[in-house]
Structure 1
Amino acid sequence: MIVPSAVHLFAGPGGLEYGAGLPGVGIELDPNAVATRLAAGLPTIHGDVTRYGPADIPATVLTGGPPCQTFTVAGNGEGRAALDTVVGLAKRMAAREDVRADLDRIADPRTGLVLEPLRWALQAADLGRPYEAIVLEQVPQVQPVWNAYAEVLRAEGYSVATGVLRAEQFGLPQTRRRAVLVARLGGPVALPEPSRRPYRRGVAQEAGDARLAPWVSMGEALPDRGPFTVVSNYGTGGDPKNRGRRSSAEPAFTVTGKISRNRIVGVDGRELPRLTASEAGVLQGFPPDWPWSGGDIPQQCGNACPVSLAAALALAATTP
């Protein structure tokens, strides 16, 4: 049997593994994301992560981006309300307690999925085949869970670093904050150092730390569009009076599954065609010809791990 170098949990349309450059196999339940993965030639198991484990798929690297809907500010909030419970369950898992019944009692089953990568990591260790490196990413609200992971993994012999990173500082033409975890056996690990300046509204692109490159604008990523303005209701609570606006000379708002609802307005005020699947993918770091397939492509794109951030995380986790 050929052992894959990585197993990618909640693999989505392939952002993390494509960016990380780690061949292996991805597990994904959503048939739409599976369609995109297969079109992109990514080895895929169409199934539920909870029904598999490291005994089924040996690998040397573990990556994952569990579902964020119950943790994100735009979601239902059940994950945020259950944070203390989830952190407590992580500590019990470290003691090798069976917490499945407790997970079943959490109102939204998606919340408990944030502990799946930990289950895989601990089971791999118990099999005598611990992962050499681990890369995880999620919305910032999950940072307390990653901190709990760090405590558990350090007791298992890992060096671990966690924190919240800004995707535009890693070359993404989009502002997006992500809670991340990188871990490595057999050597120290640290979060990747940003290569670009953070975006600040009203601060010129060329201003700031001269040691860092400028952030990337939408216009630079989508040069064929010409100048435009994005009108978005992201983060406004749906109040039309609070709709956010960013010009093509700025990074995009965080790409979510609602990106196709954003209006695109030309410099003369005319309504322009809305972002295509390819353009939304480019804002997430995918190449323009990524073969988006299946349905609900905006949601696939919004759920994906930013490609350039994935590359930086993988390099930090796997380079001695």
Structure 2
Amino acid sequence: MPRYQNSQSFAIILNALEQEGYSVVEGVVNMADFGLPQARRRLVLIASKGFHVALPSSATPCGWYEAFTKCAEGIAHLIPMMLDSQLLLKQQQALERFLAGNAPTPLLIERVGGRTESKYKPGYLPCNTILRCLRRAAPTHFTDHKGCNRSKFADIWLPDGTVKSLSIEGAAKLQGFPDWYEFLSEAATAGSIIGYSVPPSFAGQLFMSAQSILKGAYL
């Protein structure tokens, strides 16, 4: 039985597909294993008939700071263009805890949430999951625990003391959105699109993997 929140309903879906003759591949995958700079877990189910479609090959995980400087082209300019910010008290405390045992390095520090995971992420690690969520314990919010919209979701701290507010464009890049995608100006709406989505870069990998298998099946 798959270990999902509604495993009984999911088992019914699997059985129905298999009874119809579909070959089913399913599992919870971490987007960081597919080159995305975010430790986002997503349930993926692939049903095919007449041939077998598997998940795409995994890639080397990419840190969130590397995503702005190494893993993608033309986006290193985003951080200087982000609005200046100031760390909240709990963010400052998280920074001090990190610096007490580590050398200075770029940090992504959340403004809300962070009960179950560390409030900061060094630049060489994928960031926590970016969510559009009302749950206080969720890693990164576009709303606070009272359901109030926020214009600031996380701050970027650099070793020279610079603090920048993570922008919608920056969050979208961490979620694998292409540069050409245009969001609405309202932060809550843009945050909903980013937080609820399956990362587009992963969806592209999944499509290309299925396409190559389909081409081989009909040659």
Q: TM-score range by the shorter chain?
A: 0.5 to 0.7
User: Which of 216-225 and 245-254 deviates more?
Assistant: 216-225
Residue number among 38, 45, 49 corresponding to 1:185 in the alignment? 49
Map 1:95-174 → 2, pairs under 5 A: 141=5, 145-174=9-38
**Other-structure match for 1:236:** 115
After TM superposition, give the deviation of residue 175 of structure 1 in Å.
Answer: 0.6
Percent identity between the two aligned chains: 29
Distance 1:146 1:192 in 2: 22
CA contact (8 A) 1:278 1:289 kept: no
1:146 deviates by 3.7
> Structure 2: how far apart are the matches of 1:263 and 1:163?
32
> Whole-Å Cα distance in 2 between the matches of residues 277 and 165 of structure 1?
25
Change (3 A) 1:304 1:156: same
Cα RMSD (Å):
2.9
1:235-289 deviations in Å (ceiling 9; x for gaps): 416xxxx75211222211111132542222221444x221111111111111233
Match of 2:173 among 262, 282, 289: 282
2:192 is matched with which residue? 299
Q: TM-score, normalised by structure 1?
A: 0.44
**Aligned-pair CA distance for 1:170:** 0.9
Q: CA deviation at 1:144?
A: 5.3
Quote how far apart the aligned CAs of 1:234 are. 3.9
Contact 1:256–1:302 (CA<8 Å) still a contact in 2? yes
Number of the residue aligned with 1:199: none
Query: Is the CA contact 2:42–2:198 (under 8 Å) kept in the aligned structure 1?
Result: no
Per-residue deviation, residues 14-40 of structure 1 (Å, max 9, x unmatched): xxxxxxxxxxxxxxxxxxxxxxxxxxx
Give the distance between the partners of 1:177 and 1:306, measured in 2 at CA.
Answer: 10
State the distance in 2 between where 1:313 and 1:307 align: 10
Distance 2:36 2:169 in 1: 15
For residue 106 of structure 2, what is the amino acid of its counterpart? F
TM-score, structure 2 as length reference: 0.63
CA distance 1:191–1:293, shift in 2 (3 Å): same
Equivalent position of 1:254 in the other structure: 129
Counterparts in 2 of 1:316 and 1:289: CA distance versus 1, 3 Å: closer
CA distance in 1, matches of 2:50, 2:167: 44
Structure 2 unaligned segments of length 5 or more: list them.
70-75, 81-104, 133-140, 143-151, 215-219
Unaligned runs of 5+ in 1: 1-139, 197-213
The aligned length equals 161
- Residues 289, 312 of structure 1: CA spacing in aligned structure 2 closer, same or farther, 3 A cutoff? closer
Q: Deviations over 1:41-97 (max 9, x none)?
A: xxxxxxxxxxxxxxxxxxxxxxxxxxxxxxxxxxxxxxxxxxxxxxxxxxxxxxxxx
Match of 1:264 in 2: 156
